[in-house]
Structure 1
Amino acid sequence: MSDPGRLLYLANARIPSEKAHVYQIFQMCDAFAERGARVRLIYPRRANLDELQDVGDPAAFYGVQRSPELVALPCLDPVKLVTIDLPALGKTPLNPAAFAVQTATFTLAATAYVRRHTRASAVVYSRDWPLLWPLAVGRERPRPVIWEAHDLPQGQVARRALRRLLPRLDGVVAISQGLARELAEWTRSASPPVVVASDGVGLERFSRVPSAAEARKQLDLPLDQQIVLYAGHLYRWKGVDTLARATAQLPPSARVVIVGGTPADRTSFAAWLRQEGLAQRVCLAGYVPPTQVPSYLAAADVLVLPNSGSVPISRTYTSPLKLFEYMAAERPIVASDLPALREVLEHNKNAWLVHPDSPQALAAGITSTLADPERGRRLAAAAALDVRHYTWNGRAERVLTWVDWLASKTNLP
């Protein structure tokens, strides 16, 4: 790397957080450090959820061995009002306005910190492209600036802003081939260098998982039912509503367990389940610390990835963390048949793929997988073998090797 090993990771996120992207950030910081980088994680000092207030060591919370150097910077935080204090206010126009104020003030603080306290040759790395504007545009001395792309904005104003920024970046890490292709279509000849690096998993987290029976006893889950489990957030594009509707067509022995979601989202989803008459078939386990997730996955008979095909982030861009953890858990996977997921999954090889956004198709896929344990074991074993190609350490090595290549091919310091 340019400055031997100095990497500044800018993250506009609450730390710690129940959100998957912060988990991913800590896994990558740990993996970068394992590969020799000296990582400094710069984030905003923001209000947090009550259940996360007592987390003293974020690295231990996320189950990583090497904590990055943590730097919390001040910012204005109206997001607290619309997401934590009064979530009913979290709608347009208040929600976007609150996030805009928080993002703008943290961007100013982060830019000032980077310019004041770090060498110009240190690599600046972020998932949040708005943070990179001041550091990539009008730089007095070239500082390598890398964007890790997980999504592309859909609004016209944000799209124009990102198109203007992209040629000024030194490189982009795209989490999927579909995202990389769309970036190339966006920018044509002005595209910065792009490398594709799918998300990954820490296989060591799954080296000592309990048996299904032991996991169910630990977690107080029924021993006499077939558990169909989803782990993740409750956003609509994740397809949890499709999974809930599919429960009506599952065998009586099946019990759907949903792990995850913010408090506000769980409250809203639970109300929707009651309204639809589905509450008796779905168990909302709520948010659990990342260190407990492998035990929940081990308890399952089938793991479900019901992504919707209705939006680009789900259809084309995503590289779901849960996908790789499902594979490492060595349980059969039933997933939506979408281009983003087919970059890793193959029907009847390492997963059973079904038509997206169809409760009937999802229920049929789950039912047939439950009814054919031999097929389930075959799919699970193949997935566990394939996931060895998707580790955090491997991903970090790929990214850092690419950054070194960029430095050798360009005028980076």
Structure 2
Amino acid sequence: MELADRFPGLDFHLVGGTDEDRARWEQACRSPHVYFHGHRPPSTLPDYYALFDVVLAPYEQKVYTWGRLDETGRWASPMKVFEYMSHGCPMIASDLPVLHEVLQDRVNCLLRPPEDPAAWAEALDELITDDVLRRELGAEARRQVLELYTWRRRADVVLAGLDRPESGRTRPLS
């Protein structure tokens, strides 16, 4: 919401969340250029991605399970990040260690500290004013996800290890 307040000339579209989440955020929102779409079936999301100039992945420093029973930030799976990458969306994401395996600042996204709205505003301003950077980040993200992060690629890496004999094994596993 703070980014929306800083950029009154841009439209912000929030897709996802429960009905309760949507109601809470809509009530707190002061900006008329923020649109809440709520939960959408996954099959409809490509239509949204095609319209977005920039996407945001604002993961918090700590990620909790439902009911805040456990903190799982060290193992968070950035499925939404892979989805953004597959659509070639230029992205600003939280600079968290768990994301560094996939995301590289100024290579396939812009990374910013999750609790620093000014840094996110600077990144958004850079992407909306630099068409070349925006296109390059989105294209590289798409290239990487298609070459490195498909299920086929993962299966090939796992199965490649089956061709190597294990030291100490004398008979096949049954």
Per-residue CA deviation, residues 10-41 of structure 1 (Å, 9 max, x unaligned), is xxxxxxxxxxxxxxxxxxxxxxxxxxxxxxxx
Give me the TM-score of the superposition, normalised by structure 2: 0.80
- Structure 2 residue aligned with 1:253: 9
State the Cα distance separating 1:394 from its structure 2 match: 2.7
- Structure 2 residue aligned with 1:54: none
- Structure 1 residue aligned with 2:62: 310
Report % sequence identity.
Answer: 34
The counterpart of 1:392, out of the listed 132, 139, 151, is 151
- Structure 2 residue aligned with 1:295: 47
CA RMSD of aligned residues (A): 2.5
Give me the TM-score of the superposition, normalised by structure 1: 0.36
Whole-Å Cα distance in 1 between the matches of residues 155 and 101 of structure 2? 19
Whole-Å Cα distance in 2 between the matches of residues 330 and 266 of structure 1? 27
Q: Find the residue that maps to 2:118 and give its secondary structure.
A: helix
Per-residue CA deviation, residues 299-345 of structure 1 (Å, 9 max, x unaligned), is 1000111111134533x322211111111111211111111111111
Amino acid at match of 1:245: E
The counterpart of 2:84, out of the listed 319, 323, 326, is 326
Q: Does 1:346 align with 2:98?
A: no
Whole-Å Cα distance in 2 between the matches of residues 266 and 392 of structure 1? 33
Q: 1:72-111 alignment to 2 at 5 Å? A: none
- Structure 2 residue aligned with 1:382: 140
Q: Describe the shift of the 1:411–1:350 C-alpha distance in structure 2 as closer, same or farther (beyond 3 A).
A: same
Q: Does 1:263 align with 2:19?
A: yes
Mark the runs of 5 or more structure 2 residues left unpaired by the alignment: 64-70
Per-residue CA deviation, residues 68-102 of structure 1 (Å, 9 max, x unaligned), is xxxxxxxxxxxxxxxxxxxxxxxxxxxxxxxxxxx
Contact 1:247 1:363 in 2 (8 A): no
Q: Could you say which structure has the larger radius of gyration?
A: 1
- Structure 1 residue aligned with 2:67: none
Q: Find the residue that maps to 1:254 and give its secondary structure.
A: coil
- Structure 2 residue aligned with 1:207: none
Amino acid at match of 2:151: W
Q: Describe the shift of the 1:411–1:263 C-alpha distance in structure 2 as closer, same or farther (beyond 3 A).
A: farther
Q: Find the residue that maps to 2:11 and give its secondary structure.
A: strand
Q: Find the residue that maps to 2:103 and give its secondary structure.
A: coil
Q: Find the residue that maps to 2:72 and give its secondary structure.
A: helix
Whole-Å Cα distance in 2 between the matches of residues 337 and 402 of structure 1? 32
Amino acid at match of 1:305: A
The counterpart of 2:127, out of the listed 346, 366, 369, is 369
Q: Describe the shift of the 1:281–1:393 C-alpha distance in structure 2 as closer, same or farther (beyond 3 A).
A: same
State the Cα distance separating 1:286 from its structure 2 match: 1.4
Per-residue CA deviation, residues 39-90 of structure 1 (Å, 9 max, x unaligned), is xxxxxxxxxxxxxxxxxxxxxxxxxxxxxxxxxxxxxxxxxxxxxxxxxxxx
Whole-Å Cα distance in 1 between the matches of residues 161 and 20 of structure 2? 40
Contact 1:336 1:353 in 2 (8 A): yes
State the Cα distance separating 1:375 from its structure 2 match: 0.8
Contact 1:306 1:362 in 2 (8 A): no
State the Cα distance separating 1:350 from its structure 2 match: 1.1
Whole-Å Cα distance in 1 between the matches of residues 128 and 28 of structure 2? 27
Mark the runs of 5 or more structure 1 residues left unpaired by the alignment: 1-243
Per-residue CA deviation, residues 329-381 of structure 1 (Å, 9 max, x unaligned), is 11211111111111111111111111212222212211111011111111111
Q: Describe the shift of the 1:253–1:272 C-alpha distance in structure 2 as closer, same or farther (beyond 3 A).
A: closer
Q: Find the residue that maps to 2:35 and give its secondary structure.
A: strand
Ranges of 4+ aligned residues in structure 1 off by more than 2 Å: 267-273, 310-314, 392-399, 401-405, 408-413
State the Cα distance separating 1:412 from its structure 2 match: 6.1
